[in-house]
A = this chain, B = another copy of it.
Amino acid sequence: MNPIGTRFALSLAACAALVTGTAQAQSKPEDDIRYRQSVMNVMGRALGPLGAMAQGKAPFNAAVAQKNAMLVDTLLSLPFNAYGPGTDKGAPTKADPKIWSDAARFKQSSEVAQKAAAQLLAASNAGDEARFKAAVGEVGKACKSCHDDFRTKEFRN
């Protein structure tokens, strides 16, 4: 590797380590748990303005709808690879053991949410307020359904 390549590599390695505090190559269960929770946290904030607009608490703003719908759609593609075997414990988590004992239904539930998010993005891109509101509702239902089935009320280790 040439010196410039080496410098780049070092910078990025430093960056990744600084950012996550963990090696990237093989994630530990606690890293996967923290990652899942981080995705959900960022998603929660993206959902806020969407919910407010759908509920008429904020005026419909097509640009905000589009930006946040894109973010929700993207974020929903991320966490479901971080529920691998052995990631049911290792750090405080609300992930229900049914995620692993009923993996097919969990997968199905995640796909319902992803489909709802894709519909929301399409509605937002179309700038269609009525369709947007309905689509936000579907995303909300998908979130709630998955959480009802696969999220425990309290943190467990």
Contacts and interface: CB of A to CB of B under 8 A. Distances in A.
A47 interface: yes
Interface of A: 1, 4-5, 7-16, 18-20, 22, 24-25, 27, 34-35, 37-45, 47-52, 54-56, 70-71, 74-75, 78, 133-134, 136-137, 139-141, 143-144, 147, 151
Please tell me how many copies of the chain the complex holds.
2
Q: Which 4 A-B pairs have the closest CB atoms?
A: A8-B137, A20-B44, A12-B140, A24-B48
Contacts of A19: 40-41, 43-44, 47, 143, 147
Contacts of A4: 137
28 contacts: A1-B56, A5-B133, A8-B55, A9-B54, A12-B51, A12-B55, A13-B55, A14-B140, A14-B147, A15-B147, A16-B47, A18-B143, A18-B144, A19-B143, A20-B40, A20-B45, A24-B47, A24-B48, A24-B49, A24-B51, A24-B52, A27-B45, A35-B45, A37-B38, A38-B42, A42-B42, A42-B75, A71-B78
